[in-house]
Amino acid sequence: MQCSGIVVDWNKTSRLATIVTCSAAVCFDGALVHPNPKLLVHLPNRSTAEGQLLFFNAHYRIALLEALVDFPLEPANFGSSPKFGQKVFTLARDKKSSFFARSGTVLLQDPPFFLKYKYWLSLSSAIELCGTGGPAIDERGDVAGMTFGRLPNPDVLSISILQTCIDMWRRFSRVARPFLDMDLIAFETLDITHQEEIESEHGITDGFIVDLVCDDSTAGRLGISRGDVIVSYNGLRDFTLHTFEEYLLNLGWGFLESTDPSWTINLELEIYDPVRGTIRGVTFPLGFSDICEDVLVLP
């Protein structure tokens, strides 16, 4: 798949550029399409360079590669994660090195139900066909996220998640992905009628609503059920799903530093039970997965 990319850095001595893009450039259904994929990088001066895949992560849909580039490339400035209602510009470059830009707004909505993971943000307008893997920049020109084409609303991976994944790989050659085994819905993304019903009946004005608990999961064993509401986690009350994912991902540094593959960290949850009308504390041992997705160069 043809994708755009984001320049992470360019080494003046080695002349190697590090570029992050969408894993769809080298993967299908979470696996490499070839054990040693050939990548052709189209550069702004209309030249091309051969890319070498370093790492991919199918969960976050990112791939990191490097290419020998004979002229300076300016690395992107990584900014802060996008906020609901924020205006961003999506950038793309096609195989002719033509440059494209579109504007859009980050939508106040959860990703659609068919997306397995819910920490994606959505954009109000379509991106170019070649735009998947390209940057969404804010009005200062800083990268706020990576875009992924989908109709009717493209997805955005926040820059904080993207940067943490790159930093983890550079330090440990692994990414510690948290797993809750629950699907959550942010209260603020519900329609106003549903919000009012919950507030009047239960006095709940914010939180994460548990939409699904996986079978034979830690959450299920702790008595967490569909319809419960997480009203705080480790004393925090920031209830946007992408910032929650960023928080959990950063807890994974401890897992990477540990030599114990079963390492967990306790997440202190306050959970409202709508059946009993009570709030209880739950100590949730959060686990991580670091399935290796480094790339071995084959002859």
Tens-digit pLDDT profile for residues 278-297: 999 999 999 998 875 444 34
pLDDT value of position 293: 47
Residue 42 structure tokens: 């189209």
Confidence of residue 299 (pLDDT cuts 50, 70, 90): very low
Region 174-187: mean pLDDT is: 92
Domains of the chain (ranges, CATH numbers): 5-68 (2.40.10), 87-172 (2.40.10.10), 177-289 (2.30.42.10)
Confidence of residue 114 (pLDDT cuts 50, 70, 90): low
- The Cα 6–Cα 148 span in angstroms is 13
Q: What ranges in 92-148 are assigned the alpha helix state H?
A: none
Rounded (10°) angle between helices 159-172 and 241-257: 10
The b-or-e profile of 80-101 (16+ CB within 10 A means b, else e) is: ebbbbebebebbbbeeeeeebe
Tell me: the pLDDT tens digits for 247-257?
A: 999 999 999 99
Of 130, 125, 132, nearest in space to 149 by CA: 132
Backbone region of residue 97 per phi and psi (left: phi > 0; alpha: psi in -120 to 50; beta: other values): left
- The Cα 166–Cα 175 span in angstroms is 8
pTM of the model: 0.90
Region 54-59: mean pLDDT is: 91
- The Cα 119–Cα 87 span in angstroms is 19
Contact in structure between 254 and 262 (CB atoms under 8 Å): no
